[in-house]
Protein backbone atom coordinates (compact mmCIF):
# COMPACT_ATOMS: atom_id res chain seq x y z
CA UNK A 1 0.00 0.00 0.00
CA UNK A 2 3.05 2.27 0.12
CA UNK A 3 2.54 5.32 -2.06
CA UNK A 4 -1.16 4.75 -2.67
CA UNK A 5 -3.54 7.69 -2.10
CA UNK A 6 -5.60 7.20 1.02
CA UNK A 7 -8.84 6.92 -0.94
CA UNK A 8 -7.45 3.90 -2.78
CA UNK A 9 -6.47 1.67 0.14
CA UNK A 10 -8.10 -1.72 0.60
CA UNK A 11 -10.48 -2.65 3.37
CA UNK A 12 -13.51 -1.15 5.04
CA UNK A 13 -14.35 1.98 7.00
CA UNK A 14 -17.06 2.23 9.63
CA UNK A 15 -19.32 5.05 8.45
CA UNK A 16 -22.48 6.19 10.27
CA UNK A 17 -23.18 2.83 11.83
CA UNK A 18 -22.08 0.35 9.19
CA UNK A 19 -18.98 -0.93 7.46
CA UNK A 20 -18.61 0.21 3.87
CA UNK A 21 -15.92 -0.61 1.29
CA UNK A 22 -12.98 1.76 1.67
CA UNK A 23 -13.49 3.35 -1.77
CA UNK A 24 -17.16 4.07 -1.02
CA UNK A 25 -16.62 6.03 2.22
CA UNK A 26 -17.48 9.38 0.64
CA UNK A 27 -19.20 12.65 1.56
CA UNK A 28 -20.83 15.29 -0.60
CA UNK A 29 -18.73 18.19 -1.88
CA UNK A 30 -21.18 20.60 -0.20
CA UNK A 31 -20.70 19.15 3.26
CA UNK A 32 -20.43 21.86 5.90
CA UNK A 33 -17.37 20.20 7.41
CA UNK A 34 -15.44 20.76 4.18
CA UNK A 35 -16.41 24.40 3.68
CA UNK A 36 -16.49 25.69 7.24
CA UNK A 37 -14.19 23.25 9.08
CA UNK A 38 -16.98 22.06 11.38
CA UNK A 39 -15.13 18.80 11.88
CA UNK A 40 -13.29 17.19 14.79
CA UNK A 41 -11.05 14.15 14.83
CA UNK A 42 -8.65 12.01 16.81
CA UNK A 43 -5.36 10.30 15.98
CA UNK A 44 -4.80 7.07 17.88
CA UNK A 45 -2.39 4.16 17.70
CA UNK A 46 -2.88 0.50 18.40
CA UNK A 47 0.03 -1.58 19.66
CA UNK A 48 -0.26 -5.35 19.76
CA UNK A 49 -3.96 -5.13 18.97
CA UNK A 50 -4.80 -2.68 21.74
CA UNK A 51 -5.57 1.01 21.20
CA UNK A 52 -3.47 3.07 23.59
CA UNK A 53 -5.61 5.24 25.86
CA UNK A 54 -8.66 4.67 23.68
CA UNK A 55 -11.11 6.00 26.25
CA UNK A 56 -9.16 9.26 26.70
CA UNK A 57 -9.11 9.84 22.96
CA UNK A 58 -12.83 9.21 22.65
CA UNK A 59 -13.61 11.53 25.56
CA UNK A 60 -11.60 14.27 23.85
CA UNK A 61 -13.37 13.65 20.55
CA UNK A 62 -16.75 14.17 22.22
CA UNK A 63 -15.56 17.25 24.08
CA UNK A 64 -14.15 18.70 20.85
CA UNK A 65 -17.53 18.18 19.17
CA UNK A 66 -19.34 19.89 22.04
CA UNK A 67 -16.88 22.79 21.79
CA UNK A 68 -17.85 23.16 18.11
CA UNK A 69 -21.52 23.07 19.09
CA UNK A 70 -22.64 19.61 18.07
CA UNK A 71 -23.27 16.21 19.68
CA UNK A 72 -22.01 12.94 18.25
CA UNK A 73 -25.06 10.63 17.91
CA UNK A 74 -23.35 7.60 19.44
CA UNK A 75 -22.19 7.01 23.00
CA UNK A 76 -18.55 7.02 24.03
CA UNK A 77 -18.85 3.31 24.88
CA UNK A 78 -20.20 2.58 21.41
CA UNK A 79 -17.35 4.48 19.78
CA UNK A 80 -14.76 2.65 21.89
CA UNK A 81 -16.25 -0.71 20.93
CA UNK A 82 -16.45 0.31 17.27
CA UNK A 83 -12.77 1.27 17.16
CA UNK A 84 -11.87 -2.21 18.39
CA UNK A 85 -14.23 -3.71 15.79
CA UNK A 86 -12.56 -1.70 13.03
CA UNK A 87 -9.14 -3.05 14.03
CA UNK A 88 -10.41 -6.63 13.93
CA UNK A 89 -12.28 -6.08 10.66
CA UNK A 90 -9.10 -4.75 9.08
CA UNK A 91 -7.01 -7.53 10.64
CA UNK A 92 -4.59 -4.98 12.10
CA UNK A 93 -2.39 -5.35 15.18
CA UNK A 94 -0.14 -2.27 15.04
CA UNK A 95 -2.12 0.51 13.40
CA UNK A 96 -3.25 4.10 13.30
CA UNK A 97 -6.92 4.84 14.02
CA UNK A 98 -8.73 7.94 12.80
CA UNK A 99 -12.23 8.75 14.13
CA UNK A 100 -13.69 11.88 12.50
CA UNK A 101 -17.03 13.63 13.03
CA UNK A 102 -18.44 16.42 10.87
CA UNK A 103 -21.54 18.39 9.91
CA UNK A 104 -23.26 17.24 6.72
CA UNK A 105 -24.87 19.03 3.80
CA UNK A 106 -28.46 19.90 4.81
CA UNK A 107 -27.58 23.60 5.22
CA UNK A 108 -24.81 25.48 3.42
CA UNK A 109 -23.80 28.67 5.17
CA UNK A 110 -22.28 29.79 8.43
CA UNK A 111 -25.37 28.57 10.26
CA UNK A 112 -25.87 24.81 10.09
CA UNK A 113 -28.16 24.02 12.99
CA UNK A 114 -30.10 21.29 11.14
CA UNK A 115 -27.17 19.47 9.59
CA UNK A 116 -26.76 15.76 10.24
CA UNK A 117 -23.72 14.86 12.31
CA UNK A 118 -21.69 12.11 10.69
CA UNK A 119 -19.05 9.86 12.20
CA UNK A 120 -16.49 7.65 10.49
CA UNK A 121 -13.69 5.49 11.87
CA UNK A 122 -10.81 4.22 9.73
CA UNK A 123 -7.67 2.27 10.58
CA UNK A 124 -4.52 1.54 8.62
CA UNK A 125 -0.90 0.56 9.01
CA UNK A 126 1.25 3.61 9.62
CA UNK A 127 4.89 3.34 10.70
CA UNK A 128 6.98 6.17 12.15
CA UNK A 129 5.60 9.65 11.46
CA UNK A 130 9.11 10.85 10.64
CA UNK A 131 11.76 9.09 8.56
CA UNK A 132 13.03 6.29 10.88
CA UNK A 133 16.73 6.88 10.19
CA UNK A 134 16.36 10.65 10.59
CA UNK A 135 14.31 10.17 13.76
CA UNK A 136 17.08 8.22 15.52
CA UNK A 137 19.57 10.97 14.76
CA UNK A 138 17.13 13.71 15.78
CA UNK A 139 14.96 15.60 13.31
CA UNK A 140 15.58 19.17 12.17
CA UNK A 141 12.99 21.90 12.76
CA UNK A 142 12.56 25.25 11.09
CA UNK A 143 10.81 28.19 12.73
CA UNK A 144 7.17 28.33 11.61
CA UNK A 145 5.87 31.45 9.83
CA UNK A 146 2.54 31.26 11.69
CA UNK A 147 1.88 31.50 15.40
CA UNK A 148 -0.63 29.73 17.62
CA UNK A 149 -3.55 32.13 18.09
CA UNK A 150 -4.84 33.89 21.18
CA UNK A 151 -7.33 31.59 22.98
CA UNK A 152 -9.90 34.38 22.65
CA UNK A 153 -9.80 33.87 18.86
CA UNK A 154 -9.96 30.05 18.52
CA UNK A 155 -11.17 27.03 20.56
CA UNK A 156 -7.66 25.71 21.15
CA UNK A 157 -8.70 22.85 23.45
CA UNK A 158 -10.62 21.16 20.61
CA UNK A 159 -8.90 18.84 18.16
CA UNK A 160 -10.71 20.59 15.34
CA UNK A 161 -9.84 20.51 11.65
CA UNK A 162 -9.69 24.27 11.13
CA UNK A 163 -6.97 24.76 13.74
CA UNK A 164 -4.55 22.73 11.61
CA UNK A 165 -4.57 25.01 8.57
CA UNK A 166 -1.60 27.06 9.80
CA UNK A 167 0.15 23.83 10.80
CA UNK A 168 -0.03 22.44 7.27
CA UNK A 169 1.21 25.73 5.79
CA UNK A 170 4.11 25.84 8.26
CA UNK A 171 5.09 22.18 7.81
CA UNK A 172 5.01 22.46 4.01
CA UNK A 173 7.29 25.50 4.12
CA UNK A 174 9.69 23.71 6.46
CA UNK A 175 9.80 20.63 4.22
CA UNK A 176 10.53 22.79 1.18
CA UNK A 177 13.64 24.00 3.03
CA UNK A 178 14.75 20.47 3.88
CA UNK A 179 13.48 20.38 7.48
CA UNK A 180 11.22 17.68 8.92
CA UNK A 181 8.90 20.05 10.80
CA UNK A 182 8.62 23.51 12.30
CA UNK A 183 8.49 24.99 15.79
CA UNK A 184 5.55 27.31 16.34
CA UNK A 185 5.52 30.27 18.71
CA UNK A 186 2.30 31.61 20.18
CA UNK A 187 0.79 35.03 19.54
CA UNK A 188 2.90 36.45 22.40
CA UNK A 189 6.16 35.17 20.89
CA UNK A 190 6.54 32.30 23.35
CA UNK A 191 7.57 28.76 22.40
CA UNK A 192 4.39 26.71 21.86
CA UNK A 193 4.66 23.41 19.93
CA UNK A 194 5.56 21.81 16.62
CA UNK A 195 2.96 21.62 13.85
CA UNK A 196 1.44 18.40 15.16
CA UNK A 197 3.31 17.54 18.35
CA UNK A 198 4.18 18.97 21.75
CA UNK A 199 7.77 19.94 22.56
CA UNK A 200 10.05 19.26 25.54
CA UNK A 201 13.54 20.52 26.42
CA UNK A 202 16.16 19.18 28.84
CA UNK A 203 18.77 21.11 30.80
CA UNK A 204 20.83 19.96 33.79
CA UNK A 205 18.74 16.81 34.15
CA UNK A 206 15.44 18.72 34.33
CA UNK A 207 12.68 18.63 31.73
CA UNK A 208 11.06 21.88 30.60
CA UNK A 209 7.91 22.18 28.50
CA UNK A 210 5.60 25.08 27.57
CA UNK A 211 2.33 25.53 29.41
CA UNK A 212 -0.52 24.40 27.09
CA UNK A 213 -2.55 27.58 27.47
CA UNK A 214 -3.17 28.14 23.75
CA UNK A 215 -2.47 24.76 22.16
CA UNK A 216 -3.55 21.16 22.66
CA UNK A 217 -2.46 19.47 25.88
CA UNK A 218 -1.65 16.21 24.13
CA UNK A 219 -2.47 12.80 25.55
CA UNK A 220 1.08 11.68 24.70
CA UNK A 221 2.39 14.84 26.36
CA UNK A 222 0.63 13.96 29.60
CA UNK A 223 1.85 10.36 29.33
CA UNK A 224 5.47 11.47 29.01
CA UNK A 225 5.16 13.83 31.98
CA UNK A 226 3.83 10.92 34.04
CA UNK A 227 6.61 8.59 32.86
CA UNK A 228 9.27 11.19 33.65
CA UNK A 229 7.91 11.70 37.15
CA UNK A 230 7.90 7.94 37.73
CA UNK A 231 11.62 8.09 36.99
CA UNK A 232 12.06 10.83 39.56
CA UNK A 233 12.77 13.42 36.87
CA UNK A 234 11.63 16.97 37.51
CA UNK A 235 9.20 18.33 34.91
CA UNK A 236 8.74 22.09 34.79
CA UNK A 237 5.76 23.46 32.85
CA UNK A 238 6.47 27.12 32.24
CA UNK A 239 6.81 29.98 29.80
CA UNK A 240 9.73 29.33 27.44
CA UNK A 241 11.08 32.10 25.24
CA UNK A 242 12.93 31.56 21.93
CA UNK A 243 16.12 33.15 23.28
CA UNK A 244 16.38 30.28 25.78
CA UNK A 245 16.80 27.60 23.11
CA UNK A 246 20.60 27.90 23.07
CA UNK A 247 20.72 26.93 26.73
CA UNK A 248 18.98 23.56 26.38
CA UNK A 249 20.95 20.35 25.89
CA UNK A 250 18.24 18.04 24.54
CA UNK A 251 14.89 18.44 22.81
CA UNK A 252 12.15 16.04 21.76
CA UNK A 253 8.61 16.04 20.40
CA UNK A 254 5.64 13.98 21.59
CA UNK A 255 2.40 12.98 19.91
CA UNK A 256 0.36 9.94 18.95
CA UNK A 257 1.84 9.99 15.45
CA UNK A 258 5.28 11.30 16.45
CA UNK A 259 5.47 9.14 19.61
CA UNK A 260 8.72 10.38 21.21
CA UNK A 261 10.95 11.92 18.54
CA UNK A 262 14.34 13.50 19.32
CA UNK A 263 15.18 16.88 17.82
CA UNK A 264 18.75 17.68 16.78
CA UNK A 265 18.22 21.20 15.46
CA UNK A 266 15.80 24.12 15.62
CA UNK A 267 17.04 26.76 13.20
CA UNK A 268 20.50 27.75 14.48
CA UNK A 269 20.13 25.84 17.77
CA UNK A 270 21.58 22.33 18.13
CA UNK A 271 20.68 19.55 20.57
CA UNK A 272 22.09 16.15 21.48
CA UNK A 273 20.04 12.96 21.44
CA UNK A 274 20.85 12.39 25.09
CA UNK A 275 20.25 9.71 27.67
CA UNK A 276 17.08 11.19 29.15
CA UNK A 277 15.49 11.43 25.71
CA UNK A 278 16.48 7.83 24.94
CA UNK A 279 15.18 6.69 28.33
CA UNK A 280 11.78 8.29 27.74
CA UNK A 281 11.61 6.83 24.23
CA UNK A 282 12.16 3.39 25.75
CA UNK A 283 9.72 3.97 28.61
CA UNK A 284 7.03 5.17 26.22
CA UNK A 285 7.48 2.13 23.99
CA UNK A 286 7.12 -0.13 27.03
CA UNK A 287 4.08 1.80 28.26
CA UNK A 288 2.11 1.57 25.00
CA UNK A 289 2.84 -2.13 24.70
CA UNK A 290 2.25 -3.05 28.34
CA UNK A 291 -0.05 -6.05 28.57
CA UNK A 292 -0.48 -6.47 24.83
CA UNK A 293 1.39 -9.80 24.60
CA UNK A 294 -0.70 -11.32 27.36
CA UNK A 295 -3.91 -10.04 25.80
CA UNK A 296 -2.99 -11.46 22.39
CA UNK A 297 -2.21 -14.86 23.90
CA UNK A 298 -5.50 -14.86 25.79
CA UNK A 299 -7.42 -13.94 22.62
CA UNK A 300 -5.64 -16.67 20.65
CA UNK A 301 -6.41 -19.21 23.38
CB atoms within 10 A of CB 9: 15
Active-site annotation holder among 159, 171, 278, 297: 159
114 given a catalytic annotation: no
d(CA 27, CA 96): 22
d(CA 295, CA 252): 31
Cα angle at 57 between 216 and 116, to 5 degrees?
95
Cβ(252)–Cβ(265) below 8 Å: no
Please give the positions annotated as active site: 159
Amino acid sequence: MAGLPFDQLDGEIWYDGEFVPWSEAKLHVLSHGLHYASSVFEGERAYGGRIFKSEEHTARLFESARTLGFDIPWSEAEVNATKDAVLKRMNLVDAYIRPVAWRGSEMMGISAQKNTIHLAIAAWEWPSYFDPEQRLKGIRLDMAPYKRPDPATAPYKAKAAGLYMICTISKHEAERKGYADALMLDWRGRVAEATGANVFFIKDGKIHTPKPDCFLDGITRRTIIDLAKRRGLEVIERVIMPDELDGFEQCFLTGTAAEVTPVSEIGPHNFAVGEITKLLMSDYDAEVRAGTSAELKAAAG
